Amino acid sequence: MVKIGNIDLGEQPLFLAPMEDVTDPSFRYLCKHYGADVVYTEFVASEGLIRDCKKSFKKLQLFDFERPAAIQIYGHQVESMVTAAQMTEEAKPDFIDLNFGCPVKKIAGRGAGAGMLRNIPLMLEMTKAIVDAVKIPVTVKTRLGWDDDSKIIVDLAEQLQDLGISALAIHGRTRQQMYKGEADWTLIGEVKNNPRMKIPIIGNGDINNGESAKLAFDRYGVDGIMIGRATVGRPWIFKEIRQYLQNGEEMKPLTVKEKVDLAKLHLEKSIKWKGEPRGIFEIRRHLSNYFKGLPHFREIRMKLVTLLDVQELIKTLDHIAEKYGHIDDSQQNDDYSFFQY
């Protein structure tokens, strides 16, 4: 049984990775519906919180349907991160996650996210200060290291554990790799199999189906699996993986009609949460990917990613159901493993 603090997550829990402009409440709703055991918010900037930024505060809102859920914060200054963690605690997440893994330049370039991998003393000072400042579990998500010459995760994991974190999620790439190449799970396995490690180790990187998830559990012994890019436009992946883990069987493919119904629900939830037109803008990557691989789809895809009128979008989705309703996942030429958000 896997536990984070006193939170019981069951056996082989599946985590929805935090992703900016992706893991908002509308998408978390769908992922929980399909069996995600733990979900994370989008990245919350510590500086945004302490400066009373409305957008940052809105990201703190959680709902009963999605628990257990974590709020992930990032920043590069200890004092700001401590204050942000205390503000985050007031929002009553099940745990607070520290983002030491985001590789994008606007975050890592400022020393936050994966940028912390270039200043380990600061990372450790910050982690200790936050663990001491809040009463709920604190977890960390990070990478193998900054580059191929500094894959420090095995030693770093021990140091973070000794500071009192309750779980560690590791993406099997360096910051330099971004999302290129294949994730290296060997070091994730080395962390998990280190006899000094007692906290849950969650593996992340290139999990895109039941088979890859089972391999990660069986070969590397991780306590949980975190799934990021492969969920975009495919929230049902959690159900796929759970079924495969339980009985080794593939889930019955979704029909295009079922995907259309799901896309409509997602659109409704997104608009309800973010309003128009933002709720439409931020669902576009999902709408396009829901139907990835359908033949002769270019013109329709262009509508999905350009229309701003809700009723026109719904009409387009209905047209997809009518035109492609006989096709299911097994007949689509999908390859989620190379999808970049």
DSSP code, position 58: H
- Of 102, 123, 216, 287, the catalytic one is 102
DSSP 116-127: GGG-HHHHHHHH
Give the N- to C-terminal CA distance of the chain in Å, as an integer: 33
Residue 45 half-sphere exposure, CB side, CA atoms within 13 Å? 14
Please choose, from the candidates 234, 291, 282, the residue with its C-alpha nearest in 3D space to the C-alpha of residue 260: 291
Known active-site residue 102: yes
CA-atom Rg of the chain in angstroms: 20
Please, how many CA atoms are within 13 Å of residue 221, restricted to the half-sphere of its CB?
A: 12
For 310, other C-beta atoms within 10 Å of its C-beta total 15
Contacts of 259 (CB under 8 A, 6+ apart): 290, 291
Residue with tokens 């933002």: 278
Two structure tokens written together for 189: 């396995």
In the 3-class helix/strand/coil scheme, how is 256-276 assigned residue by residue? HHHHHHHHHHHHHHHHHHHCC
* In the block, residue with structure tokens 């400066």: 51
Judging by DSSP bridges, how do beta strands 95-100 and 69-74 pair with one another?
parallel
Residue numbers annotated as active site:
102
